[in-house]
Amino acid sequence: MDSFNLELVKATPTHLKEVEIVERKGVGHPDYICDAVMESISVALSRVYIKEFGDVLHHNIDKGLLVAGEVEKDFGRGRVITPMELIIGDRATFSVGRKKIDVEAIARECVERWFRDNLKRVDPRRDVRVRVVLKPGSVELQEIFREKTAIKASNDTSAVVGYAPLTPAEKAVYECERFLNSTAFKTNFPETGEDVKVMGFRYRDELNLTVAMPFIAELVRSEKEYFAKKKEVLASLKRFAQGLPFKRVNIEFNTLDRPGRGVSGVYLTVLGTSAESADSGQVGRGNRVNGVISLNRPSGSEAAAGKNPVSHVGKIYSILSHLMAKEIYERVDGIAEVYVWLLSEIGLPINRPKSVSVQIIPEDTLHHGRVRKDVLGIISEFLSGIEHFTGELARGEHPIC
């Protein structure tokens, strides 16, 4: 690294601040869908590139838009009128010499597989139109991949930040969505959809959760049944909340509902996702790489999903900074909170960031010299092992949403 800076600061850790706001978008949310599908295409392309050419080739599948469709719904029934449309864009390598890769076919296959695996009521061939607008990359960025080196050069100048540990509120919001989209929950409540959104607002030691989750129109026969099922789901949520480490947890569920208005007063979907008619999605608007959107934390502007895993530092450093922060927190005693900023410079090897800055909030008093040595050692470990790490990214071993 060109420069390293460590700062010990006197500040209030996030979990002790009076107010904290955290959000998580679940599997069926349009933004989550875009991130997850584009990432699956990147992983699939990386696998094919390695098999055919021995290395990951230039690609960035990080421009995606899910355009909402149109449905007709009522209690006990529903149908799709206009399918959703998924637009897959940016750059990929289509050929090397005379050998060609059917990038579009790979992308379409990934879309179909992802929807079948994650949204059980969506028929990807009937309910989703796919438009692939991928093009070859620029000459300058392709040149990075022509150099047969184990460590690629950074293909962008980017700045990212990671932190540790997650606060109890961040964990609670994350775990709430995972609970609602778990196999066990969906078995008990098959009439609920996957488009879950959880907003957490902590004031001191009280946590307020606002949850949105649709019901499936075909499985709810009347307004009365809707509100009866809603009451059962809310009771299950309250049982879940009993295990959270807060003095009090308040839960609001589907707050737009209005009894007496029929279909217009309840949250029903045909397919389990608002992308069917109400809400479009876009890459980069979903969860950060640690699974939450935390408004109290610093964050960069990079969208990790779909970027190539061997040279695009917007992806590599986004995940790496969180892993570095977690390791520092776990291995260095006396830390209440730690932040890691990584700055790249286009053209420099990815194992040589332009700058690494670490900010630590101590639990009490820390000796700067000792901590600096320990932290620098951990940072160096990660950078020296970056070739192994990018291999893990290429195989999809690190979740990005």
Of residues 333 and 1, more confidently modeled: 333
3-state secondary structure of 379: helix
Instruction: Report, as an integer, the average pLDDT of 263-281.
Output: 97
For residue range 299-315, list pLDDT tens digits in order: 988 999 999 999 999 99
| Residue 389 φ/ψ, nearest 5 degrees | -65, -45
Q: How many CB atoms lie within 10 A of CB 18?
A: 8
For residue range 194-218, list pLDDT tens digits in order: 999 999 999 999 999 999 999 999 9
> For the range 363-368, what are the long-range contacts, defined as Cβ-Cβ under 8 Å and sequence gap of 24 or more?
363/334, 363/335, 363/336, 364/334, 365/334, 366/8, 366/334, 366/335, 368/6, 368/8
| Residue 139 CA: distances (Å) to CA of 48, 142, 145, 234, 346 | 21, 5, 10, 55, 15
Is there a contact between 59 and 106 (Cβ–Cβ < 8 Å)?
A: no
- pLDDT band at 369; cut points 50, 70, 90: confident
pLDDT at 366: 85
pLDDT at 2: 80
User: How many CA atoms lie within 13 Å of 278's alpha carbon, on the beta-carbon side?
Assistant: 15
- pLDDT band at 140; cut points 50, 70, 90: low
For residue range 57-74, list pLDDT tens digits in order: 999 999 999 999 999 999
Average pLDDT, the chain: 95
DSSP notation for 252-303: EESTT--TTSGGGGS-EESSSSGGGTT--EETTSS--TTS-EETTS---S--
What is the residue type of 313?
V
- pLDDT band at 139; cut points 50, 70, 90: low
- pLDDT band at 276; cut points 50, 70, 90: very high
CA–CA separation, 361 vs 261, rounded Å? 52
- pLDDT band at 150; cut points 50, 70, 90: confident
Q: How many CB atoms lie within 10 A of CB 317?
A: 29
Instruction: Report, as an integer, the average pLDDT of 322-333.
Output: 98
CA–CA separation, 358 vs 339, rounded Å? 6
User: The domain 17-26+168-282: what is its CATH number?
Assistant: 3.30.300.340
Relative orientation angle of helices 368-384 and 386-394, to the nearest 10 degrees: 50
pLDDT for 141 beyond 80:
no
Contacts of 140 (CB under 8 A, 6+ apart): none
Please report where in the chains the tokens 């809707």 appear, as a residue: 226
Pairing of strands 215-216, 268-269: parallel
pLDDT for 77 beyond 60:
yes
